Chain A
């Protein structure tokens, strides 16, 4: 949660450089958070998802749960990709002449799909490793796997 807070603070603005300053700016931040629609909400969701995923990776003992938590973290990134593409994505110039609304390039989406594909591959490999581990150790508990110990 601290991380979450800090990410938020990072997002808040350029003025806040210390926690005290961030706390001072908190009301202002809350106001704009709920009033304005913008990427900030997406950030928050994404950060929340990431933190949950991270937390899951750190604390869960079941390897499958860890893998799932990893998926969560990856998906939080997907949210960010899409959000960034919406607000800071590249404007396609030719479309600007033919339409009233701005037409944006789908790079964020493409990356999101890319990440999904990678996540699927990673899940497959991860599950295979977990299965192999299980065959050897008769357990899917990550605490039984410390081969990388010094």
Chain B
């Protein structure tokens, strides 16, 4: 095919449009005069809005509808090409694109979306839009901020769409670097420490991932970096379990640091506390999901045997994360740290759901990732609202805000209870499915024996322990609400203004979704239910 045709195919792919529009936006923003802050903000909003609209249209089928409306012409052709996302595509990816990139190294440019990546893709476009709105409060070095922000958005979208290990790694790192600057320049008092800690910690993990990727490439004998092709590569399957475990551990370290799992979580509170509000949102809502996504996309499908061997170990770490994170969150004096540790706890749930390898557990993990993205993102925005007004995040200094700022309080209560997992709000479904999944485990776990205990029993013990986390979650959320929202109006904060339009625009969509998906989660669940069933079936059949 001619080069022009290849470029056209490349550009017409909706995933590529979503990924490269932010990058393009970053380049365009670089050329704008830094004094035109309004223009810069508008452009940044536009460049985050486009991916959101495109991905939303893929979900709702707007484009296929438009394709029917315009039967002729390039536009109609494009719309039909975009069509509607099909979550039940048998053994394949929507909008799959595979073109050779660096042929001498067998590196291809492969992207595609399936039931796992599509919800996270939409979550990313949605929250990056909202975080962009929330970023309008940034007052210094606006141009640099938005350029870096757009690069970050593009990188995150790329991670969820990439199906080539090299591309995956590339986007993984691309999302890392702007984050470093965003924390390090626009952050709080200890921003340098936090930024360096975040960067080096994550880089430490991803270097091991790189080693594993290269090892896979060399061992597989396929001569490809494709995630799908390497999944069942002959050369990998015949490797001794020791080698497979080492490769597994390389990936595991990278993903567990990103999630973050218990002993690797200490970068999170620091980064969250120091990062500016929108960046905290992105960090909690999307970057952490990259870890869970990696588990489901790379680790478990490729190394199910190792996953069963190490499952008990990872499960223990997940349970420790749940309880430990919740307990530590309980006594945090700083609101952002509290939310950060609650992320540790929630992501422990996600890990537990994945470890169970049950369709419900995997669905629950994806669902909780989405729910956590929404609720924790909202909580960070809310903390930002408080911080903008009071310039403090210390719980002890706040009080009675539900009297001072009633509309803010409404959002806060909805999101906090959503995070708590109140049934009827979005957080519940994930937790319920995970506990059900862990309790049920799958048939293969019956054949696994870890530490002298049957795997299925072990999973049940994990489920029971995780349930304690639910109580502790209620404990710290309610205690936080009591100290911050309830009580008499604090004399220091009397007359604080309620939320302003920008904050409404950023928060109310999340609040609505927290309620809407809590009441009717089916539209979301339809996206990944087929995927999780298939993956669980595969994981069960392999061992």
Direct chain A–B contact by Cβ atoms under 8 Å: no
